[in-house]
């Protein structure tokens, strides 16, 4: 039996979620995509207050669903699949590699680069556990995905490159600010996270050197601290789907 998990980090995107949920239900009921016996979808919502922490939210969703699944796709709410191979890889497979998309009419994108791992990425659960999941310490925008990619190299997790076709739901970019004159500047959280990433993984460092870094073994699933504030399971869905919206508080 194939039980496949989706984890979606979420906050303040109600309009996107209203489109994402029915789209995923319809997508996985199409004959070509009906390979999963059960689809476990966790929407992990961060309470207001602290800066958004995508890495920690993804870890929380994984912890809450891993006993019921064998593989997990960490998926942003603003990407709607059109033609995507979600089948379980040998190790991990990025599906959306942002920053290098080719845009087409209707908002379709076809990722084709191997430099950036965001949007949607699939792991065998055992492989995700072996690399201790995402870092929990990138607050605000950026670099939790770059950190994850280096963890897979440290852990020798098999990599599979795929190209997918998605409809992208447009939204305000939170990593850059545009002034009234049109100048583009990186926001403080981006700069802070970039500095943290560069400190942890200096340019030119080897996997052996990165493996000895304490952040790899101590920052991730093993250090996750959170509190569940509310859980709501959707009942008006087809039997093969288990969908839950979970609101959480994350400890710094």
> pLDDT of 33-42, one tens digit each?
889 999 999 9
Give the domain range for residue 66: 3-250
* Total number of domains in the chain: 1
The whole-angstrom separation of Cα 126 and Cα 123 is: 8
Q: Is the dihedral of CA 170, 20, 122, 107 positive or negative?
A: negative
SS3 172: coil
Q: What is the CATH number of the domain that holds 30?
A: 3.90.550.10
Total-model pTM: 0.89
Q: Could you give the percent of the chain with pLDDT greater than 90?
A: 58
Q: Could you give the percent of the chain with pLDDT greater than 70?
A: 84
Q: How many CB atoms lie within 10 A of CB 34?
A: 11
The reported pLDDT for the residue numbered 202 is 85
The whole-angstrom separation of Cα 94 and Cα 197 is: 20
**What digits encode the pLDDT tens for the residues 73-109?**
999 998 899 889 999 999 999 886 544 444 444 544 4
The reported pLDDT for the residue numbered 140 is 93
pLDDT (average), residues 49-62: 96
**What digits encode the pLDDT tens for the residues 158-206?**
998 887 788 878 766 555 555 555 555 677 888 999 999 998 888 887 7
What's 159's DSSP letter? B
The whole-angstrom separation of Cα 49 and Cα 249 is: 9
């Amino acid at each position: 039996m194939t039980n496949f998990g989706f984890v979606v980090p979420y906050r303040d995107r109600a309009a996107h979620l209203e489109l994402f949920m029915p789209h995923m239900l319809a997508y996985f009921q199409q004959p070509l995509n009906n390979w999963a016996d059960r689809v476990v979808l966790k929407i992990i919502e961060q309470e207001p207050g602290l800066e958004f922490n995508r890495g920690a939210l993804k870890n929380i969703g994984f912890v809450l669903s891993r006993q019921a699944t064998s593989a997990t796709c960490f998926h942003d709410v603003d990407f709607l699949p059109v033609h995507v191979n979600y089948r379980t890889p040998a190790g991990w497979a990025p599906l959306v590699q942002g920053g290098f998309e080719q845009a087409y009419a209707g908002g379709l994108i076809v990722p084709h680069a191997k430099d950036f791992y965001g949007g949607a990425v699939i792991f065998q659960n055992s492989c995700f556990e072996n690399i201790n999941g995402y870092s929990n310490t990138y607050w605000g925008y950026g670099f939790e995905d770059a950190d994850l990619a280096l963890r897979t190299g440290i852990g020798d997790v098999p990599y599979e490159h795929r190209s997918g076709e998605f409809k992208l739901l447009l939204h305000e970019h939170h990593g850059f600010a545009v002034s009234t004159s049109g100048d583009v500047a990186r926001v403080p959280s981006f700069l802070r996270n970039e500095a943290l990433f560069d400190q942890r993984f200096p340019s030119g460092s080897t996997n052996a050197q990165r493996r000895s870094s304490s952040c790899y073994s101590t920052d991730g699933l093993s250090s996750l601290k959170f509190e569940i504030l509310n859980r709501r399971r959707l009942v008006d869905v087809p039997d093969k789907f288990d969908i839950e919206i979970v609101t959480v508080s994350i400890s710094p």
